[in-house]
Amino acid sequence: MSKSKNQAVGVDIGGTGVKAALVDVKRGELLSDRVKVPTPEGGEPDAIRDAVVALVDRLGVADDTPIGVTFPAIVHHGRTMSAANVSKAWIGLEAEHLFEQALGRDIHFANDADAAGFAEDHYGAAKDASGLVIMTTLGTGIGGALIYNGVLIPNAELGHLEIDGHNAESQAANSARERESLSWEAWAARLQRYYSHLEFIFSPDLFVVGGGVSKSSELFLPLLDLKTPIVPAMLRNNAGIIGAAALARGV
């Protein structure tokens, strides 16, 4: 495959799957098929490291192709400071160094929601937005990303805000809707409280809502009454891959 300054590999590590692809970071599009393997049972560091190496090998990219890797954790100076749906052995681990040693090159290592938000800001639903964009992913938990005029502000744990005495994601994540068999209207009432709180704290210019449930956004977003525009994400399951690649290329 020919080398290009516009190409990079994005790897998106999740609690159930690890996926990767070669990305055109100028257009924000996949250049290869997306390759994927299940997240190794137990989510141990060495097993996930080996899965990432195997996926990058399958892509057959040049040795100098930049690689970005996302992970479902707080990432601070290359260390994973939390662990969601993976082994607790990740907590405090020098994870960026772990992957760099295995891949034989420097990488860009980032939180998964941060990468997805960066992708939506540069190529997706917030492409032409200015000011502060807040991306939230409504899934098992609530992931968040803050992007101000194209610059990512990392590790915004927006799902862990306390609202009415509860961790926000325990009440407003899509998993809560499913667990409690909430109607769209009942869930929207919780989302209203959550997004109104974010609006008050941050005064954003745009909300972008991701996660699998965003495919049904017409059933709940119109029920919200906010001053800030709120729109569904566009890049779906490729957002993390595209964002990781773009961050690795320094877009």
Q: Where are the domains of the chain?
A: 7-114+238-249, 128-233
Task: Compute the average pLDDT of residues 157-179.
Answer: 94
pLDDT at position 3? 54
Instruction: Using the CB atoms, write b or e for 182-192: b if 16+ within 10 Å.
Output: eeeeebbebbb
Q: Which token pair is 207? A: 């909300």
CATH architecture of 7-114+238-249: 2-Layer Sandwich (3.30)
Residue 91 CB-density burial (10 A; 0-12 exposed, 13-18 middle, 19+ buried)? middle
pLDDT at position 15? 83
35 pLDDT higher than 60: yes
3.30.1490.100, 3.30.420.40, 3.90.1170.40, 3.90.1150.10: CATH of 128-233: 3.30.420.40
28 pLDDT higher than 90: yes
Give the percent of the chain with pLDDT over 90: 90
2 pLDDT higher than 80: no
Contact by Cβ (8 Å): 4, 65? no
From the CA atom positions of the chain, what is the Rg in Å? Answer: 18
pLDDT at position 1? 40
The dihedral sign for the CA sequence 65, 80, 154, 77: negative
Query: First CA to last CA across the chain, in angstroms?
Result: 21
pLDDT at position 214? 93
Same fold, 7-114+238-249 and 128-233: yes
